[in-house]
Structure 1
Amino acid sequence: MTSALVYIGAALAEIAGCFTFWAWLRLDKSPWWVAPGIGSLCLFAYLLTLVEADNAGRAYAAYGGVYIVSAVLWLWVAEGAKPDRWDLIGAAICLVGAAIILWGPRAA
């Protein structure tokens, strides 16, 4: 499984899990929304262990950029709020940073 696919799956699981708490506490949904959210957050944590990286911190740092892009997509697709140019520029910069962290040349 490639790191990119793992990161995308982890981002979807994290955003979905966090959104269940948002829905419960900010949108007055039932507390039962949180139950699948907890499972989704556990899946997120598990998926990050599958990333091909020697160090957890580096894997998590690179994931941050993917998460930001995914959150902007969530904003648009799930919440119906179209991202503005600043959202898109910021997300692109973060994704470039994530790629540098994950795939930059390392001394052996």
Structure 2
Amino acid sequence: MAKALLIYTRAALAEVAGCFAFWVWLRNGKSPVWVLPGIVSLVAFAWLLTLIDSDYAGRVYAAYGGIYVAASIAWLWFLEGARPDRWDIVGATVVFVGAAIILFGPRST
């Protein structure tokens, strides 16, 4: 479980960083050179999710959603300097609980 959480966390950071690189280029008018690390980061994100031990990709992606939202809120706060408001926190909590249900819910074989 700890290994999966580490992989999910790394994947989230890679995805947020990759998307942010495109954001900086397209929304903030920075150099197109920002796209290169963005592409590398997004490729790393996709590769990392393949390392999760699961029979179904969709379940991996659904469970990952909670980690992604938490990482995005952390990025907002720590890297962009915008403190999350109560709605950010409530929304992230709802998504995180949903991802935990998907990840830890009992399965019939």
Q: Where on the TM-score scale, by shorter chain, does this alignment land: which range?
A: over 0.9
What amino acid is aligned across from residue 71 of structure 1 in structure 2?
S
Contact residue 53 and residue 102 of structure 1 kept, 8 A: no
Q: Sequence identity of aligned pairs in percent?
A: 61
Alpha-carbon offset, residue 94 of structure 1: 0.8
Alpha-carbon offset, residue 54 of structure 1: 1.6
- Structure 1 runs (4+) greater than 3 angstroms displaced: none
**When the two structures are aligned, how many residues end up with a matched partner?**
108
State the distance in 2 between where 1:64 and 1:5 align: 14
State the distance in 2 between where 1:67 and 1:47 align: 13
Aligned-CA RMSD value:
0.9
State the distance in 2 between where 1:84 and 1:52 align: 35
Q: Structure 1: which 5+ runs fail to align?
A: none
TM-score scaled by structure 2? 0.95
Alpha-carbon offset, residue 82 of structure 1: 0.2
Q: Deviations over 1:68-102 (max 9, x none)?
A: 11111110011100000110111011111111101
Contact residue 65 and residue 97 of structure 1 kept, 8 A: yes
Contact residue 69 and residue 95 of structure 1 kept, 8 A: yes
Q: Secondary structure at the match of 1:54?
A: coil
TM-score scaled by structure 1? 0.96
What amino acid is aligned across from residue 9 of structure 1 in structure 2?
R
